[in-house]
Amino acid sequence: MTTTRRAAIGAAAGLLAAPPLLGLRDAAAQGAAPPVVGPAFHRFDVGALKVTVVTDGSNVRADVTQGLVMGATPDQVSGALRAAGIAGPAMRNPFNVTFVETPRGLVAIDVGTGGIGGPGTGALRDNMRAAGLDPARVVLIVHTHFHGDHIGGLTGSDGAALFPQAAVAVPEREWTFWNDAGEESRANEARRPAFANVRRRFAPYLERVTRFAPEAEVAPGIRAVATNGHSPGHTSFLIANGAAQALVIGDAITTPAFFMANPEWYPSFDMDPPMAVETRKRLLDRAATERMPVVGYHFDMPATGRVERAGTGYRLVPAAA
């Protein structure tokens, strides 16, 4: 069964001038964008497990033909936009968090931007309440990776934990990379602030952080799936109950119009592009073959659908609203 509630998402003032993974650019660098109205949340079942995808809002990149898509010319990117029915060159970039009601309690997969994506973001807690989800009920947060738009919602502007009752589970490889002083010293100027951001966001949770290995069961019905490439320890999550399953893919696949339709292309913020492309192809093939629903962090709401093969690539068939 699928249930969707319509609600206004705040006006998006534009996409960060740099890729959204760090979330460190000033909102003044953004271009104007019209208000966005769409579903605040989308609910579906995986067997007996209740899954709710909640939007944290969105922003808009003024021109996605420049600097976002690698492996393609601006004309090819424009053609992909037209094929997807998007006028372009501006394009909305959503941020969505997945919640699963498990026997252990309410589990969050990532925590949203914390508003670092601009004035159209930071709506997670309000939209959780619209979906009937109390932030105080979150007993566990599991992370796909540590880019700023996925961990910003751990803390408020005062540095205090926004989910004070929650334990935190993180991919071992991701934790090791972002807490390595040597990696920080070797990082370029654009990436280096992300290391400090990781330390700051996780600081109030340190006594409750556990690390998990690839393929570990992180909660009842939720198993880690190693999907490295977008970041060193990027992890997706398979939700399964009985014969039913769904795959929460994080940033292993973003923007279906580009990276499903053309799996060889990659976003500029993939940290290991060859590995990310290989991972993306593997996930797309698996999702299409097994006909399982996927949930995308950067998909337009309802942010859930099935993957179908289409020519030399794939396409997303969105779930019914």
Q: What is the pLDDT along the chain (321 residues), one digit of tens a residue?
A: 444 333 322 222 222 223 333 333 323 233 333 334 478 999 999 999 999 999 999 999 999 999 999 999 999 999 999 999 998 899 999 999 999 999 999 999 999 999 998 889 999 999 999 999 999 999 999 999 999 999 999 999 999 999 999 999 999 999 999 999 999 999 999 999 999 999 999 999 999 999 999 999 999 999 999 999 999 999 999 999 999 999 999 999 999 999 999 999 999 999 999 999 999 999 999 999 999 999 999 999 999 999 999 999 999 999 987
φ, ψ for residue 284 (rounded to 5)? -65, -45
The CATH number given to whatever domain includes residue 138 is 3.60.15.10
Q: For residue 30, what are the domain limits? A: 2-225
pLDDT at 272: 97
Q: Quick check: is 124 in a domain?
A: yes
Q: Quick check: is 209 in a domain?
A: yes
Inter-residue contact 314 to 260 (CB < 8 Å): yes
Q: Quick check: is 81 in a domain?
A: yes
Total of domains in the chain: 1
pLDDT at 318: 95
Query: Terminal CA-to-CA distance of the chain, rounded, Å?
Result: 11
pLDDT at 320: 87
Q: Quick check: is 257 in a domain?
A: no
Q: Quick check: is 132 in a domain?
A: yes
Q: Quick check: is 63 in a domain?
A: yes
Inter-residue contact 251 to 230 (CB < 8 Å): yes
pLDDT at 253: 97
Residue the block writes with tokens 């071992």: 172
pLDDT at 78: 96
Count CA atoms within 13 Å of residue 101 on its CB side.
14
Residue 123 CA to residue 12 CA, distance in Å, equals 12
Q: Quick check: is 105 in a domain?
A: yes
φ, ψ for residue 280 (rounded to 5)? -60, -45
User: For the CA atoms of the chain, what is the radius of gyration?
Assistant: 18
pLDDT at 265: 97
10 Å CB burial of residue 8 (0-12, 13-18, 19+) is exposed
Q: Quick check: is 250 in a domain?
A: no
Instruction: Give the dihedral of Cα atoms 201, 214, 283, 169; nearest 10 deg.
Output: -30
